[in-house]
Chain A
């Protein structure tokens, strides 16, 4: 019998009959609908024709390969399914990545989609691949790759680019993923090799051609499964061999599956066909003897008392409308039980203890701007959770640290930095969900993507940027006005107003959750109602590695 948290359930004063709530729900459902349409689009891979051609060769699409390899009826947590959104590249980046259960073992599964530019590596695929490797490394999970890739994209202009998948987004401001210089590439091979060194098993199934760079994927894996007359691996295929040496040879002779199983030893397992390869993959994972330290939930697990459906109506399209973060917490945590830490102090941040699916968590959520006192409270709470080895969940809805003379006098820089120091050096797993705004240094303080989170998810309503679009446009207008004044020019109010509107629109678009997810700046967009499930899955995943809180921090500037 698991122990129970003794804290009482939170009570919610949310008015679910208000017009605002109904409007919020409608807006959220509309956003979710757009998201679903995009997910369907991403699942189409390279589209109907390439998919049909792929199938006609007796091959399974990558998503079927994954659905087949995981244990039946188990969930699959896909990571950035909408990578590449807003770019000229295919939605999903020509790669599927996620976490699934194979033979009872949580694994990172990464697979090329050969229907998208023959599985060639786009900048998005590279970034997604690196993220997959990072998840395997940080959480200590077996890494399974389904390789079928033409290798680096050799076409001019960075290659796989075709017409935009979501055309109207070109004007938006966002951090597009640009192709790296070749000199900087290849880190994934380093990472794969290091996984092996770290005793994290790497299993590679070669489903087709694995050429040049691609050949190092089996080269750097612990276990390789090749498919008879279907898998090939070589540094150079027939065309390049002919170019380089004049030798004329076919693929099978240069690097066919049978050759690798019998002659080169690159393949440990020779599969009869794709299904057999997937069977062998499961067989290999089943022998990995994978054990999770402290895997079992330790606390009583029950559904929240407050209805998670109501999460749909909490956040307004207009992010200036306040959200009581306790209304989120009470709809996510077990039994809605929440033991709040310092509820009367630094009230713009809510901290406290709860459980999600029986896993203990420390929760931090914003109820307004970060003040000096709320920053210190958060820094204190993060240290406590590190002493207790309790993972942290951050619910971000933050416009930043408070500005102005009084707050500067109170040491907002110093105290905000204490919080960032605590967040940075905290060693318990961090799971971050951005529900509304995530602006400026507030993003950092609330464990933004760059702060070593194990997982970062975003609600469709979220906006992530250096500051709000209105503020950015306004600041730029002020700068222009200053410049005009310095030069003694007349300020064209009408032109400026148009510019402000254009900037605001562009930045608004650029800060959208979809843009963040498109740039692989998060792990994906969450339906708010899935928050509890996804956090539960992540809390299970992070337990593949022992949870040990920080023993030391950077110098706290006091």
Chain B
């Protein structure tokens, strides 16, 4: 059944948040439509709420379909675009939208329903003659599948409830864990087994269909670079897909699309064996994908525009022969997460967020400087998309854009992404799904090379800020002296570096500065946002942002965030020696020690839950637990003191 067609859509509601809401608004506005946002309390100050013509508050959750439909009625929207995630693949919601007389922007509820069940979807694929991986719906039937295998949630997606199992003795535990996660993540604990191809690539075909029986494919995207089973770098075309393979995969996808009577945008996912170039059907995503921009960049097709046109009943108006591909596009997903700590989600306030003017790349982002990255939603900060004549151009441009981004306040995977894009392996197209484990790009988490220079820039910028703030003697030269006082000094600490760096300096009569370390510094221009500075004949302009005692300096290859050691410390406010702090905000699930306990290094002491995942905090050293100021169920801020351990080494 095709959805009802309204002759025109003049007002569209996006049942989503963040970057995808803004992305849909952008095209909708370009097509002359008014835009309606829905939002929950946590997103009250988000840019997408402000950008919409009207924003309607939801009582509780983006998953509350009834409230979303009511919002559309209230604001006079004719159509609902679900974005991705949330209600985007919820057939019941799609049906309710249609039943309310609104236009659903997406494939028909029936198609969503049949493709939503991975087991059912696989059956459709087999019927359509599309190759599939050996699998079993019976989680104990490992014989049929073989090892290594993957336990996957039937209702799942996005890596949740997914486990790799290497041998039979891990199976029972892995199935149980996957079921728990599936239940908490999707409210459905069904899981199935599937053959795991270690050196594989994730390649997906973008399809587009209208209500008049026309389907085209827009080529492939490769999404092989993943961490925690979630994509972080996507590209089109894939370095391993030649025109023949593209045609073969495209034909398979179109066969499936025709079998489904697919309309709107969708994605057929395949696993490609890196050694044999065989491809296996995985699933169909009945929505716009996060990574859709790379397809848009190489084909010049605005997928959201096509979705809106198709939803309004228009025919595509072109066939497969009209689709052509130009150059190469790569997308990197910038996440608030810590690559050095198993990519655990990070939170915080985005104190600095300013892309450089060049290189020109596409920034699809739901945040602005000052946005808070919290625990409520996926911690994606932005999608950065570079398009170039060749893959090498695109990768270089994307890496440079990431490197030149002024970004601070939250731990992110930026350096990791940039390092990945610059590895010889990536540039050679050697991008299998095990890429990160295999190549571990830029992995040691050490302070960047540009650190001492960044410290000087930070010190000099702070100096300028101090002078600008002096409303008594602001007219006088910085640090002016007519007698011998010691040099002005500032101590800057880096995360992971024990000793703070001291920058000591004196001003000179000509307005320049002499560092105690010998360098000569000239400040050509100072502003609240940046500094044009020359350090020993080497001149650069660096964006600088200060947020409390943290200062972020864009160094050209990353943003170096430093802690300004306060000159004075209020006694009693220091972190106690032996203190263990929460690595992220979260809820205390379990406390496995009490004051007086003797613990050994590596022993799990506290379990936190954040982002629906369990995180184990273990003892860094052996010793005696002296204080445990937390309780089960308590919500902790990032950096909160969990407990203190006396390792006997320090005389407290």
Q: A78-B482, A78-B483 are in contact. Are A72 and B490 (CB under 8 A)?
A: yes
Q: Mark B472-511, 1 if CB is under 8 A from A, else 0.
A: 1101111111111110101000000000000000000100
Q: Mark A528-548, 1 if CB is under 8 A from B, else 0.
A: 011001101100100000000
Which residue of B has the minimal Cβ distance to A99? B473
- A101/B570 in contact, CB under 8 A: no
Residues on B with C-beta less than 8 A from A40 are: 484
- B475/A74 in contact, CB under 8 A: no
Is the C-beta of A81 less than 8 angstroms from some C-beta in chain B? Answer: yes
Q: By the criterion of a CB under 8 Å from any partner CB, how many residues of chain A are at the interface?
A: 45
Q: A104-B471, A524-B482, A526-B482 are in contact. Are A75 and B476 (CB under 8 A)?
A: yes
- B490/A533 in contact, CB under 8 A: no
Whole-angstrom CA separation of A536 from B472 in the bound complex: 11
Surface stretch bound by A, among B61-69, B80-88, B462-470: B462-470
- B484/A536 in contact, CB under 8 A: no
Is the C-beta of B424 less than 8 angstroms from some C-beta in chain A? Answer: no
Residues on A with C-beta less than 8 A from B471 are: 104
- A75/B488 in contact, CB under 8 A: no
- B570/A279 in contact, CB under 8 A: yes
Residues on B with C-beta less than 8 A from A104 are: 471-472
- A72/B567 in contact, CB under 8 A: yes
Residues on A with C-beta less than 8 A from B467 are: 73
Smallest CB–CB gap between A13 and chain B, Å? 26
Smallest CB–CB gap between A147 and chain B, Å? 19
Q: A77-B482, A530-B482 are in contact. Are A72 and B488 (CB under 8 A)?
A: yes
- A73/B476 in contact, CB under 8 A: no
Whole-angstrom CA separation of A78 from B481 in the bound complex: 8
- Name the interface residues of B596-612: CB closer than 8 Å to any CB of A: none
Is the C-beta of A98 less than 8 angstroms from some C-beta in chain B? Answer: yes
Is the C-beta of B648 less than 8 angstroms from some C-beta in chain A? Answer: no
- A533/B470 in contact, CB under 8 A: no
Smallest CB–CB gap between A63 and chain B, Å? 5
- Name the interface residues of A35-86: CB closer than 8 Å to any CB of B: 39-40, 42-43, 63-64, 66-68, 71-78, 81
- A43/B568 in contact, CB under 8 A: no
Whole-angstrom CA separation of A341 from B444 in the bound complex: 73
- A357/B466 in contact, CB under 8 A: no
Whole-angstrom CA separation of A524 from B482 in the bound complex: 9
Smallest CB–CB gap between B459 and chain A, Å? 10
Taking residues whose C-beta sits less than 8 angstroms from the other chain, chain B's interface range is: 20 to 34
Q: Mark A436-461, 1 if CB is under 8 A from B, else 0.
A: 00000000000000000000000000
Whole-angstrom CA separation of A395 from B341 in the bound complex: 68
- A75/B477 in contact, CB under 8 A: yes
Residues on B with C-beta less than 8 A from A39 are: 483-484
Is the C-beta of B571 less than 8 angstroms from some C-beta in chain A? Answer: yes
Residues on A with C-beta less than 8 A from B479 are: 73-75
Q: A73-B467, A358-B475 are in contact. Are A81 and B482 (CB under 8 A)?
A: yes
Q: A73-B466, A75-B479 are in contact. Are A275 and B472 (CB under 8 A)?
A: no
Which residue of B has the minimal Cβ distance to A280? B568
- Name the interface residues of A91-117: CB closer than 8 Å to any CB of B: 96, 98, 101, 104-106
- A63/B475 in contact, CB under 8 A: no
- A43/B482 in contact, CB under 8 A: no
- Across the interface, A67 reaches (CB within 8 A) one of B466, B485, B509, namely B485
- Across the interface, A43 reaches (CB within 8 A) one of B477, B484, B488, B569, namely B484
Residues on A with C-beta less than 8 A from B478 are: 73
Whole-angstrom CA separation of A283 from B168 in the bound complex: 67
- B466/A63 in contact, CB under 8 A: no
Q: Mark A270-305, 1 if CB is under 8 A from B, else 0.
A: 001001101100100000000000010100010000
Smallest CB–CB gap between A356 and chain B, Å? 9
- A74/B571 in contact, CB under 8 A: no
Q: A71-B470, A73-B466, A74-B473 are in contact. Are A278 and B568 (CB under 8 A)?
A: yes
- B470/A76 in contact, CB under 8 A: no
Smallest CB–CB gap between A334 and chain B, Å? 10
Smallest CB–CB gap between B474 and chain A, Å? 9
Smallest CB–CB gap between B502 and chain A, Å? 14
- Across the interface, A42 reaches (CB within 8 A) one of B462, B472, B477, B483, namely B483
Residues on A with C-beta less than 8 A from B486 are: 63-64, 67
Residues on B with C-beta less than 8 A from A534 are: 482
Which residue of A has the minimal Cβ distance to B572? A272
Residues on A with C-beta less than 8 A from B470 are: 71, 73-74, 101
- A75/B484 in contact, CB under 8 A: no
Interface hub of B463, B476, B571 (most chain A Cβ within 10 A): B476
- Across the interface, B567 reaches (CB within 8 A) one of A63, A68, A106, A529, namely A68
- A533/B480 in contact, CB under 8 A: yes
- Across the interface, B509 reaches (CB within 8 A) one of A66, A74, A106, A529, namely A529
Whole-angstrom CA separation of A96 from B486 in the bound complex: 13
Residues on A with C-beta less than 8 A from B473 are: 74-75, 101, 106, 536-537, 540
- B488/A67 in contact, CB under 8 A: yes
Interface hub of A74, A357, A527 (most chain B Cβ within 10 A): A74
Whole-angstrom CA separation of A40 from B476 in the bound complex: 22
Whole-angstrom CA separation of A98 from B481 in the bound complex: 10
- B476/A533 in contact, CB under 8 A: yes
Whole-angstrom CA separation of A155 from B466 in the bound complex: 46
Which residue of B has the minimal Cβ distance to A73? B466
- Name the interface residues of B522-571: CB closer than 8 Å to any CB of A: 567-571
Smallest CB–CB gap between A291 and chain B, Å? 12
Residues on B with C-beta less than 8 A from A533 are: 476-477, 480
Residues on A with C-beta less than 8 A from B488 are: 67, 72-73
Interface hub of A106, A275, A533 (most chain B Cβ within 10 A): A533
Interface hub of B473, B477, B481 (most chain A Cβ within 10 A): B473
Residues on B with C-beta less than 8 A from A540 are: 472-473
Whole-angstrom CA separation of A357 from B476 in the bound complex: 9
- A536/B483 in contact, CB under 8 A: no
Which residue of A has the minimal Cβ distance to B479? A73
Interface hub of B480, B482, B490 (most chain A Cβ within 10 A): B482
Whole-angstrom CA separation of A64 from B509 in the bound complex: 22
- Across the interface, B571 reaches (CB within 8 A) one of A77, A276, A301, A358, namely A276
Whole-angstrom CA separation of A63 from B481 in the bound complex: 12
Q: A71-B470, A73-B463, A101-B470 are in contact. Are A81 and B480 (CB under 8 A)?
A: no
Smallest CB–CB gap between B111 and chain A, Å? 65
Which residue of A has the minimal Cβ distance to B482? A78
Q: A282-B568, A529-B509 are in contact. Are A106 and B482 (CB under 8 A)?
A: no
- A71/B481 in contact, CB under 8 A: no
Whole-angstrom CA separation of A326 from B486 in the bound complex: 37
Smallest CB–CB gap between A104 and chain B, Å? 6
- Name the interface residues of B125-174: CB closer than 8 Å to any CB of A: none
- B483/A81 in contact, CB under 8 A: yes
Smallest CB–CB gap between B483 and chain A, Å? 3
Smallest CB–CB gap between B506 and chain A, Å? 11
Residues on A with C-beta less than 8 A from B466 are: 71-74
Smallest CB–CB gap between B565 and chain A, Å? 12
Smallest CB–CB gap between B399 and chain A, Å? 37
- B484/A81 in contact, CB under 8 A: yes
- Across the interface, B483 reaches (CB within 8 A) one of A71, A76, A106, A357, namely A76
Whole-angstrom CA separation of A210 from B594 in the bound complex: 49
Whole-angstrom CA separation of A493 from B210 in the bound complex: 124
Whole-angstrom CA separation of A282 from B566 in the bound complex: 14
Known: A71-B466, A71-B470, A72-B463. 13 other contacts (CB 8 A): A39-B484, A63-B486, A64-B486, A74-B479, A75-B481, A78-B482, A101-B472, A275-B568, A278-B568, A358-B475, A536-B473, A536-B476, A537-B476
30 residue pairs of the A-B complex, CB under 8 angstroms, read A42-B483, A42-B484, A43-B483, A68-B567, A72-B466, A72-B490, A73-B463, A73-B479, A74-B466, A74-B473, A75-B477, A75-B480, A76-B480, A76-B481, A78-B483, A81-B484, A101-B472, A101-B473, A104-B472, A276-B568, A278-B568, A279-B567, A282-B568, A358-B475, A524-B483, A533-B480, A534-B482, A536-B473, A536-B475, A540-B473
Closest 8 A/B residue pairs (Cβ): A43-B484, A78-B483, A75-B480, A279-B568, A81-B483, A73-B466, A357-B475, A67-B485
